[in-house]
Chain A
Amino acid sequence: MDEKVGPGRRGRDLDLIEEHPILDFQHGERVRFFFDGKEFEGFEGEPISMALHANGVRIYRETAEMHRPRGFFCAIGKCSSCFMIVDGVPNVRTCITPLKAGMKVETQHGKGNVPEMDERRRHS
């Protein structure tokens, strides 16, 4: 398992547990993805929110009315706290959505809209 960042890659390492008395972590392939336009690294197939957390990102969205920051909370897809825009799709439960190489992940401000759907409604 390659834990260190290789030459030519981002200089900062991920916040991972390096040694554990009981567990031995098997990670997937380390891939690049984008968070708000910045290039990050994470493990393919693991939830997006875990990759963000390992990169030190804590704020995943901002609420619609009070503009309060929201982040990780339940990690089982039940609480809606970690909703983000992923490849243009809003309200994605990032705690149970697997990371893919090249994915574009964005902080969600407010409720999030689905442009194609608004367009379709207008035409129907």
Chain B
Amino acid sequence: MRKYCDLHLKLENEKEIFEAAKLTKEMGFKIVGLTFQPDTSITKIKELKKVFQEFNVDLASRVDLKPKSKMELLSTLRKLRRKFEIISVECTSNKIAIAAARDRRVDLINFSLNFKAKFTHSIAHVLIGALEINLIDLITPKTSRAIILNKFMNEVFIAKINNTPVVVSSGATNPLLIRAPREIASCSLLFKLEPLEALSSISTIPSSIVKRNRVKLSRFYIGEGIKIVD
């Protein structure tokens, strides 16, 4: 049975987080990524993990970076990589996009409509992590839905050519914007992902990212391919 994941929830107050935990359980998610502020304490993250555990949902801590320069990106990555399980970068320019794509510490990159940066073949070619598509842009569109669908279609087209993994997540800013896994997969069919690809973009690909990072964050991990065995 597939383990469905939604790696992007941007909820702030605790009441909403509790509601989201309940909803995600009802919808059938097993892993959920919740965005935290970079200065959030580890105890706070652990507390929220317990809230989600009550509903049998696994919470992965995530931080969204929006660097203005390459140097800023590298310094924040250095500070935060050991603290959060998922690191995502919103690319504001092509230079930052290429730097983020090349960096092993970046798990997901996404492209907002507000900035000039676009997902190109050159970025896809060097991308180590995965491309993230946030459905919130489509669900609550700031411009025409056709423009957003076109953007997503182009991104998926480039990703397919370069064999880049694609992760589709809801990007919900309130619990009512969370979408069920099958609904997310059906929306991904609109931007020309194949049915199996659509399902793996909300299940196997995101769960493998979380699993890989948890191994890296564990105290037994030394380096790539090296770990302490009891």
Q: Determine if chain A interacts with chain B.
A: no
Chain A residues near B (Cβ < 8 Å):
none
